[in-house]
Amino acid sequence: MIAVARDLVTLAAAADDFFEEGFQLPFALKVIAETEPEERAEAEEKMLPRRQYADGYYVWLNYLVWLDAVVEMQPQSLSVAELEGLRVLRTARNHFLRTHPSCHACGRPEEATVVRCRHCGAEIK
């Protein structure tokens, strides 16, 4: 059994994937939904993200996202594993936000290389 809360190096890598997956998934699902039924299985295979790490890392990251929101509302006593996990989560979130600037029109994150926002169509400046 992997102690994901103590494996901070792999947790950090999984956290980067976690944020990127959350960003890409809505677009992939939209394309898959618009794909012809007979080609849908192939589209899913190509477009849906494949997780590189054990599911336990993503379960822990989901818990940390929830915990981060709770701590903002009401300070809590946290374990060392939770504190270290929150540090890893926040570092990954900050990296994601630096590499995915917000659209000036709708505020949603976008890839740094696109010309137009995929959400609202505004030109990215």
Q: How far apart are CA 67 and CA 12, in angstroms?
A: 17
Contacts of 57 (CB under 8 A, 6+ apart): 4, 7, 10, 11, 14
Per domain, the residue ranges of the chain are: 8-99
Name the DSSP letter for residue 58: H
3-state secondary structure of 102: strand
Q: Note the pLDDT tens digit of each residue in 4-60.
A: 999 999 999 999 999 999 998 888 898 899 999 899 899 988 888 889 999 999 999
